[in-house]
Amino acid sequence: MAASPLTRLRKLCLSLPEVREVVSWGAPTWRVKTIFAMYSGPDSDHYADPRAAVWLKTSAENQEWLVASDASRFFKPPYVGVKGWTGVFLDGETDWAELESLLWDGWRMSVTKTLAAKHPPPAR
């Protein structure tokens, strides 16, 4: 049986350096110093969307590009979308390698320069 989207997302997030999971607003969030990713879906209490998704920290430019490139996979989430965060649906044909890359980007935006220098992202 395939792992649930939340299980796969949790594994990816917790594989990043010094990440911890904290339930906030009724949903799992992943953070180092600040939150860089948050789960949203039918099995969370936060913004109970019928579709499983992750909201992740991205630049406003990256958000704009991702949503324009494929609005069936990427979206501007409520509350944090105005700050550049991007939502990624986790149902259907999720590109987990691409999501891992986006999580690394969000992680790097949330950590100190020293920590980021110690842990370069894997080769893409």
Instruction: State the total domains in the chain.
Output: 1
Amino acid identity at 118 = K
Give domain status of residue 47, yes or no: yes
Give domain status of residue 34, yes or no: yes
Residue 46, pLDDT score? 58
* Full DSSP string of 5-42: HHHHHHHHHHTSTT-EEEEETTEEEEESSSEEEEEEST
Tell me if 43 sits within 8 A of 23, measured CB to CB.
no
Tell me if 73 sits within 8 A of 51, measured CB to CB.
no
Residue 116 burial (CB count, 10 A): 17
Give domain status of residue 122, yes or no: no
Domain with 25, as residue range(s), is 5-111
Q: What is the pLDDT along the chain (124 residues), one digit of tens a residue?
A: 667 899 999 999 999 999 999 998 888 999 998 999 999 987 666 565 678 999 999 999 999 999 999 999 999 998 899 999 999 999 878 999 999 999 999 999 999 999 999 998 887 6
Q: What is the pTM of this model?
A: 0.90
Tell me if 17 sits within 8 A of 33, measured CB to CB.
no
Give domain status of residue 37, yes or no: yes
Residue 45, pLDDT score? 60
Tell me if 26 sits within 8 A of 46, measured CB to CB.
yes
Which CATH number fits the domain that encloses residue 65? 3.90.1150.30
Give domain status of residue 105, yes or no: yes
Residue 124, pLDDT score? 65
Q: Which of 105, 109, 63 is nearest to 86 (CA)?
A: 63
Give domain status of residue 120, yes or no: no
Give domain status of residue 121, yes or no: no
Give domain status of residue 86, yes or no: yes
Q: Which of 110, 117, 104, 70 is nearest to 89 (CA)?
A: 70
Tokens coding 119: 């842990």
